[in-house]
Each structure stands twice: as structure tokens, then as C-alpha cells.
Amino acid sequence: MKKLVRLIPFMIFCFLITFNTIGYPQSTILVHPMEKSFPAQWDGGLIIDHTCLNFDSISLDAIENAQSDVKIHYAHTSHGSQITTGLGLIEGTNSSYSVSIGYASLPATEDTLCIFDGQANNGGDTYITPDEYWEEESGVALTQGTLDDNPSLTVSLWSWCTQLNSYSTAQVQSYLDTMTSLEEANPDVTFVYMTCNAQADGSSGYNRWLNNEMIREYCIENDKVLFDFADLDSWHNGEQNTYRYHEGSTNYDVPLEHEDFNGNEAGHTTYSSCEQKAKAFWWMVCELAGWDSPSESNTNPNNGSNPPIDSLFSSGLIVAGVAAVVLIAAVAIYYRSS
């Protein structure tokens, strides 16, 4: 018993040395830094989604810089008009967010965000389908011609309708490849990638979700600018709407347009949905003009799923196990030497 009592200080000393060497368990936070400049360069991509709606954080200087420096070429069909409708709604309540939209032309209005809506040399048509922007050589020629005829343009983007509900992976890859080729041909223009609206459910919605994920991953891995239309569709007031889809033996929670946005006031949705997308659009153009937006950290690498094991608990077990081995060894050495 006396030996054991004399051994206690030695055991405590060994235990403290073990903890000091191994260290205390720490939780991990993944942070994706963004470098902001103009033209845009962002590590991990510039992803414009439901986290980019804090309108009050955008300074007047940022708005004015965007109006001065950013000239936009925007091609779309009816769903894409949600953004332009929303821009008009915001301007109607706050004239600081002044916008000038030219149909198949680029406005020259000062102190406004100037947007070329449609394509040049296309008969004035502003309903731009995939083949008229990227999917066919003739469409790529229209896009390039619009940029060539309007050299002050700094941004170009095209909005999906419902094509990703049925498109194959190969077709999505063609979109990504063509956008990249346009970037290479126009190094002074920022091309903005987009996801498809989240209105379809069932198997069509599942296919759309997979295609959108393919676009998101490409943009993150290749430092692209992404306007995440689908994400903005599914989120409202901090809540995401999803539906359960069964594929084989696996269940998936697929994002779906939020119920608050179910309507047909403009562009197949509600005015509030249009305004939400326009807020994100302003956030994007201010970033493109060099605004240093509030930093965002990704603290949920499991995307909402429960982690397979609690890191703090597992780290604690490892430390305790190593400490126990050291103590047992210490006891054995002590008794052998005594």
C-alpha cells in the first residue's frame, strides 16, 4: 500500500506529460477564403446563393462602384426575367439601386447599373435559348459578336429555363466546356455560371439537382463565379424547402422551390422570389466591382448530415488510451525497480 501511495505523484507527473505532448482535442472549422479583385479571382469560386442576401451590409460606395465599373450582358428566357423584374422592384423602393436595361442594346446611362438584355444581331429577340448562347456554334458566335460589338461589357451570363430537368451529364459538361472556352477567348470578361430553377419535383427534379451539383462542383474546383438560382429558389427566411426522393434503396432530400414562392406574378414565380434573386444579383455585381463583402465560413463540411463520429469524443478516447498505456508502463517499471 505504501508503494502505491509513493507511486501516485509519479503517475500524475506521467499523465500530465502525456497530455502536454498530445494536446487537447480541438474541433475543426473549415474556412474557404475569398480573394476579391476586378476582374474577379476567387479561391474556391464566388458562389452567390441564399447567404448573399444581407442587403443592409452593402455600402453606397459599393453600389456606385458597381454602377460605374460593371457592364453586364445578360441572356435568358422567361425564368431568367425574374432577376430583371426584381431589379426593377428594388429600384422602385430605393433609387440608389438604379438600373438601366437595354433590350438587345447596352445603355449608356450614368450612375446606373447598365445591362445588355439579349443578343446582338439576333433580330432584337431577347428570349435566348441555349442554342442562341452556348449550345450551338451559331449561338457562340452571337455571344462573341455581342461582346465584340460592345467592348465595354465586363460580365456575361445566361440563365437556364427547365433544360436541366432532362439534360444528360454530357450536355451539362458541354455547357461547362463552352463557358470555359468563352472565358479563354475573352479574358477581360467575367462569365457567370448559373444553376437551373428548382421548381420541378419527382425524377425531373432529382435529375435537375444532380446537374446543378455538377455545375456547383465545377465552379468551386475551378474558381468560377456561380449565381446559384436553384439555391435562391429553395431558401426563404432561413428555411430550405426539400422533398424526399427514393433512388434505389437510398432516400434523398432534394431542394425544391420554397412554398412561399409558388405563384405566377412574374417569370413563373412571385414578386418576393424575384426580389430575393435581385438582392443576390446586386451582391454579386458589387463583389465583381471589388466590394469586400462580409466573410463567410463553412462550418458544416457534412452539409447538414450527422457526422459518423463525434470528433471531440473520439479525440478524448485516444488521449485517455495513450495516457493509460503510459501509466501502466510506469507502474510496471516502478515495481520492477523496487
Residue 188: its pLDDT value, please? 97
For the segment 92-114, the average pLDDT, to the nearest whole number, is: 97
Going from the C-alpha of 292 to that of each of 110, 203, 228, 284, the distances in angstroms are: 23, 40, 20, 11
pLDDT for residue 25 = 35
What's the rounded Cα separation, in Å, for the pair 299 and 313? 18
Q: What confidence score (pLDDT) does residue 294 get?
A: 87
Query: Please, are residues 246 and 203 in contact by the beta-carbon 8 Å criterion?
Result: no
- Predicted confidence at residue 328, as pLDDT, reads 53
Cα 48 from Cα 121, distance rounded (Å): 30
307 band by pLDDT with thresholds 50, 70 and 90:
very low
Burial of 12 (0-12, 13-18, 19+ CB in 10 A): exposed
Q: Does the pLDDT of residue 235 top 80, yes or no?
A: yes
Of 331 and 197, more confident: 197
Q: Average pLDDT in the 22-42 region?
A: 38
Per-residue pLDDT of 171-194, as tens digits, reads 999 999 999 999 999 999 999 999
Does 321 score more than 80 pLDDT? no
Look at residue 337 in the predicted model and tell me its pLDDT: 54
C-alpha cell belonging to residue 310: 463525434
* Eight-class DSSP state of 314: H
Question: pLDDT at residue 1 above 80?
Answer: no
Higher pLDDT, 157 or 27: 157
The pLDDT value given to residue 101: 98
Q: What is the pLDDT of residue 124?
A: 87
Give the predicted TM-score (pTM) of the model: 0.77
CB of 298 within 8 A of CB of 44? Answer: no
Over range 317-327, report the average pLDDT: 46
Mean pLDDT of the chain: 83
Sign, CA torsion 37/39/44/48: positive
| Confidence label for 42 from pLDDT (cuts 50, 70 and 90) | confident
- How confident is the model at residue 308, as a pLDDT? 30
Domains assigned to the chain: 46-288 (3.40.50.1110)
Are 87 and 163 in contact by the 8 Å Cβ rule? The answer is no
